[in-house]
Amino acid sequence: MLFDMNDLRLFIYVAELKSLTRSAERMHLSLAAASSRIKGLEARFGMRLLYREAKGVKLTPAGETLLRHALDMMQQFTMLKSDMQQYSDEIKGHVRIFANTTAVTEFMPAALGTFLRSHPNVNVSLEERLNNEIVRGIQDGAADIGIVAGPVQAQGLDIINFSTDQLILAIAADHPLSNHETVLFSDTLQYAHIGLHEGSTLQHFLDRIVSESGQRLNLRIQVRSFEAMCRMIESDIGIGILPKSAAQRHKRAMRIDLVELDDPWAVRERSIVVRSTGTVAQYMRDLIDCICALPTY
């Protein structure tokens, strides 16, 4: 049975967007043409693949099975193009990465620098996302590689642990906590905090920790970078939680002190998430190797 890859790509978009109209727009097709392609797939298999509902479409059990295989086939097709394009000087591929805050700001610049120097014909898109969005992006085929910190629900995906992410407390040099070697996060909640913006994976994680404890976080200011956070902390506006690697880097240029957190969640596994390590394109495997080869932070 032969398949048109564009039909499969359209079906994947329909599953992702839950809308035939929006999927047609993404494929630059008329609604009638997109509907005809989906009906053609259903006729080929002799079964319904979608439930048409008032608010959009939903996959049938058969549609879920087709989606799983369609994603695998698209990934195999990407791998085929990658392997064949090594004989061409044109752009060989594109890697879509969803990553958490620390990855985007701290270690991915170094990993991508190394990777792109040896792969000048590969383009990369890097987006900051929450852990659950990263996993869903890999499952849905919206991203090729995901980078997360801490435990995630990633059934059916391959997970590669490559380092740890240690969170630490940063305070002004003359702060009352400066004489502590370690501190519990709960003991910091009596002080005003400087946090990252609401879309940050780290801030989302800390908000969840506070919520589960039944306590309250006095979030005085939210900023968009670890550097801005440390500047605020240096000015004694508040204290903040950030990755140890970022804190140590900014400490070299600012008058801040660092205190280790004595909470078990303060040290988290950093992991790479992919659909299958055996089917990703060679250049994607090379990028994974670059990430895994980074110094431990």
pLDDT tens, position by position, 272-287: 999 888 888 889 999 9
What is the biggest distance separating any 2 CA atoms in the chain, rounded to whole angstroms?
Answer: 73
Domain boundary pick from 83, 103, 130: 83
Instruction: Examine residue 116 and state whether it is found in any structural domain, yes or no.
Output: yes
Instruction: Examine residue 158 and state whether it is found in any structural domain, yes or no.
Output: no
Average pLDDT, the chain: 90
The reported pLDDT for the residue numbered 1 is 59
Per-residue confidence band for 270, with pLDDT thresholds at 50, 70 and 90: very high
Q: Are residues 203 and 168 in the same domain?
A: yes
Total domains, the chain:
3
Q: Are residues 203 and 259 in the same domain?
A: yes
- Give me the mean pLDDT over the 78-100 stretch: 74
Per-residue confidence band for 83, with pLDDT thresholds at 50, 70 and 90: low
Position with higher pLDDT, 31 vs 90: 31
The reported pLDDT for the residue numbered 75 is 78
Instruction: Examine residue 297 and state whether it is found in any structural domain, yes or no.
Output: no
Domain boundary pick from 36, 52, 83: 83
Q: Are residues 139 and 177 in the same domain?
A: no
Q: Are residues 172 and 264 in the same domain?
A: yes
Q: What is the CATH number of the domain that holds 22?
A: 1.10.10.10
Rounded to whole angstroms, the Cα distance separating 60 from 150 reads 33
- Give me the mean pLDDT over the 94-116 stretch: 93
Instruction: Examine residue 52 and state whether it is found in any structural domain, yes or no.
Output: yes
Per-residue confidence band for 54, with pLDDT thresholds at 50, 70 and 90: confident
Position with higher pLDDT, 6 vs 97: 97
Instruction: Examine residue 205 and state whether it is found in any structural domain, yes or no.
Output: yes
Q: Are residues 36 and 78 in the same domain?
A: yes
pLDDT tens, position by position, 183-227: 999 999 999 999 998 878 899 999 999 999 999 999 999 998 999
Checking if the pLDDT of 256 tops 70, the result is: yes
Checking if the pLDDT of 78 tops 80, the result is: no
Rounded to whole angstroms, the Cα distance separating 103 from 100 reads 5
- Give me the mean pLDDT over the 245-272 stretch: 95
Q: What is the CATH number of the domain that holds 253?
A: 3.40.190.290
Instruction: Examine residue 130 and state whether it is found in any structural domain, yes or no.
Output: yes
The reported pLDDT for the residue numbered 52 is 87
Instruction: Examine residue 19 and state whether it is found in any structural domain, yes or no.
Output: yes
Q: Are residues 144 and 60 in the same domain?
A: no
Q: What is the CATH number of the domain that holds 114?
A: 3.40.190.10
Query: Whole-model pTM above 0.85?
Result: no
Instruction: Examine residue 41 and state whether it is found in any structural domain, yes or no.
Output: yes
Q: Are residues 146 and 188 in the same domain?
A: no
The reported pLDDT for the residue numbered 297 is 52
The reported pLDDT for the residue numbered 89 is 54
The reported pLDDT for the residue numbered 2 is 66
The reported pLDDT for the residue numbered 135 is 92
Q: Are residues 130 and 43 in the same domain?
A: no
Structural domain including 123 reads 91-153+271-292
The reported pLDDT for the residue numbered 86 is 59
Q: Are residues 172 and 243 in the same domain?
A: yes
Q: Are residues 177 and 259 in the same domain?
A: yes
Tell me the Ramachandran region of residue 28: left when phi exceeds 0, alpha when psi lies from -120 to 50, beta otherwise.
left
The reported pLDDT for the residue numbered 90 is 55
Q: Are residues 169 and 28 in the same domain?
A: no
Domain boundary pick from 83, 104, 133: 83
Checking if the pLDDT of 41 tops 70, the result is: yes
Q: What percent of the chain has pLDDT over 90?
A: 67
The reported pLDDT for the residue numbered 35 is 92
Q: Are residues 19 and 69 in the same domain?
A: yes
Checking if the pLDDT of 85 tops 70, the result is: no
